[in-house]
Amino acid sequence: MMLTPRGTQRFYSIWFPLLQFVSRRTGLVPHFPSTYGEGSVLPSDAATLRNKLWADDALRTAFIAENPVGLSADDLAQVKGWDARVGGTFYVFRQLKKHAILIPERGEPRAYGVIGLAASVEDSVSISLPCLVETTLIPFEGKIIYDSLLSCSKVSFGSGIRSSLNETYKSAQEYDMVLTSLTSGEGGAEGIRARNAKLIAAFQAHITRTNVSQKTLQAHRATIERFAEDELLPQNPPRGLIEVRAVDLATYLGNKGDDVNLTSFKYFVRFLRDTGRASWQDTEAMLKELR
């Protein structure tokens, strides 16, 4: 699955002026074209500008404010929507009819349904799947695409990695974490809240077995809900409880001081560990913060 020819043309009519704007502002790649197809472009030059762009949001803000090539309001809204980008290393796991499945190299069960630009994602990588790529996923016209650059590792993977990816994908499906949008519904704040609610319901059912009172149970639930709203959702991009890490707890506890029920967090982290929703290494790091 890929963008329509019109969609591909629209993306590049936004992307190339944006990269040229970065070039003019920084001087990193002189004479970068503002129009797709206007002369040859080295992937390394595009990557240099792309990396600078994603490292400094002020460049996008300035581009939107100045609008040097007269983009429409809808096109500028697409650029603004790239606040919700997700960059990093991903396994291109499988090509489905509607999209390719990309799984982050690190983190808990999550997958992204990504469509290609002028070709499918599978056809855009140079080796058979699964393969490992560096890229940035961005929202575009309600779907997830990548920022035109896929840096593909030539490493091939054996049965162990393949089995692990299968398990991760199954877990992502089970936890409703196969995302096909980054900006609204399933990928935005309301989608994250919906997934948080499911996770908290499972957490509540899990600790009910410990015979805690209903009052205590509700207090634990409220503590975790407040943490999700105050610490994780305001981040850019917003994050859900399934993605919690020790650094999040450290920041939250540092800001809240003694006004936190540590027992609630200990119950929650152990729930993540005991149900396989988080790794032993991550949960041990979180429990260490809670001691």
Averaged pLDDT in 10-residue chunks for the chain of 291 residues: 94 96 95 83 94 96 96 96 92 95 85 95 90 95 94 82 89 83 67 87 87 89 95 85 91 84 93 86 92 84
Give the strand pairing for 143-146 and 131-140: antiparallel
- Which pLDDT score is estimated for 187? 54
Tell me the sheet residues that pair with 91.
103, 132
Q: Report the distance separating Cα 15 and Cα 117, nearest Å.
A: 12
Q: Which amino acid is at 120?
A: S
Cis peptide before 130 (omega within 30 of 0): yes
- Which pLDDT score is estimated for 184? 54
CA 184 to chain centre: 13
- Which pLDDT score is estimated for 115? 96
Measured CA distances, 211 to 59, 100, 207 (Å): 54, 44, 8
- Which pLDDT score is estimated for 81? 92
Q: Report the distance separating Cα 114 and Cα 99, nearest Å.
A: 5
Yes or no: say if 112 and 75 are a contact pair by the CB < 8 Å rule: no
C-alpha closest to that of 223 among 273, 265, 282, 270: 265
> Is CATH 2.40.50 what the domain over 84-179 is classified as, yes or no?
yes
